[in-house]
Amino acid sequence: MTARPALWLWAAACPAGALLAMAAIGAQVRAFPAGALTGFALLAPALAVGTWLLRRLHPVRVRPLGYALIAVGWGGLAAFGLALPVNAAFQSALGKTAGPNFTAIWGASVAAPVDEEILKLLGVAVLALAFPAAVRGPLDGFGYGALVGLGFQAAENFLYVLNTIVLTGATQDTTAALFSFGGRVIGGAWWSHWAMTAIGGAGLGQLLGRPSRLSAAVAAGMLVLAMALHSWWDSPVLPGAALLPVKGAPILLAAVLTYRVLRHRYLVRFRRAAGAETARGVLAPGEGHVLAYRKWRHKARWNVPPGEPRRLLTRLHTAELDLLDEGLGGLEPDPLAADRLRADIRDLRHHLNAAQHPRAA
């Protein structure tokens, strides 16, 4: 897996983005160490909580931590760092063509949605190319897009902490950091980059899971929608902190509706696949219902003796979930994977029965 070019691209782009970001904000960090430290101390736990929540934004499974960290890392380092010079260049060109007055008012809502949404969406593409099983459909694209957006959001919030310190006269660094955290995280996190990139990621996940002309059109449409929502948020329309919930509501609503549709589609397919595998005799009757809910899988593990039986049941559930997800698609489908997983499930079930009833075995 380490030989995949996409993984090397990630490993190169993240440090490069970090260097670009430090070149842009390093002087401010050195000038206001107390405010920078306060901002980091506030934002780091918020990022950890956000990652924990978004990993669980799946109706059946928790997303692997490694994949989640790759997505967050791309958003917070590669996409954010690269966006700084690209945005500056875009706005400079816009100023020469549309004029400085237009750029001062509308520049952010024209440049940032194009540059940032493409750079963030590349994170989902890089993850899918490095680990083809990670993104098998629109629900995966939504989840990892949200994690990329969250990483970008955290880095941008840190930049705004520094900007707020400067705008308030650089006399009360800690207070400015707290003020920025309250506005950007407590007040504005609900409809920020995670939601925009989740929508674009859903379209890309559709294309990666089932490549076709229709999927390409859906991916393009979802990216345009993400850009439009980003442009709406950055536009000078409805200015003022009091109107932020009104302005952010369409972004959050679009993300929630997208997730609900994808969740319903996934569960319908999941239950259909579970029924087919039950009819084959691979799953036991009623096992599909247990697999569909994390709390029931957790309860089933506690109903077997600790030690080897519990470990075997965990491996069994993992293999069964992998089998039910095998039909989703992806960049590198393996026609033999389903039969291999069915054999593993039968073997694991035999060992589990033997571990629970050693005398009978």
Q: Which residue would you say has higher pLDDT here, 166 or 140?
A: 140
Residue 361 pLDDT: 44
> With the CA atoms of 12, 14, 20 and 23 taken in that order, what torsion angle do they form, in degrees rounded to the nearest 10?
-110
Cα angle 73-118-215, degrees, rounded to a multiple of 5: 110
For 105-127, the pLDDT digits (tens) are 999 999 999 999 999 999 999 99
Question: How distant, in Å, are the alpha carbons of 14, 174, 202, 272, 324 from that of 276?
Answer: 43, 59, 27, 6, 10
Looking at per-residue confidence, does 185 or 54 come out higher? Answer: 54
pLDDT of residue 1: 46
The more confident residue out of 133 and 81 is 81
Considering only residues 180 and 2, tell me which one the structure prediction assigns the higher pLDDT. Answer: 180
Q: Which long-range contacts (CB under 8 A, 24 or more apart) does 41-50 make?
A: 42/177, 42/178, 42/181, 42/185, 43/154, 43/157, 43/158, 43/161, 43/181, 43/185, 46/154, 46/181, 46/185, 46/189, 47/72, 47/76, 47/150, 47/151, 47/154, 50/150, 50/153, 50/154, 50/189, 50/194
| Burial class of residue 152 in the structure, from the number of CB atoms within 10 Å of its CB (0-12 exposed, 13-18 middle, 19+ buried) | buried
Length of the chain: 361
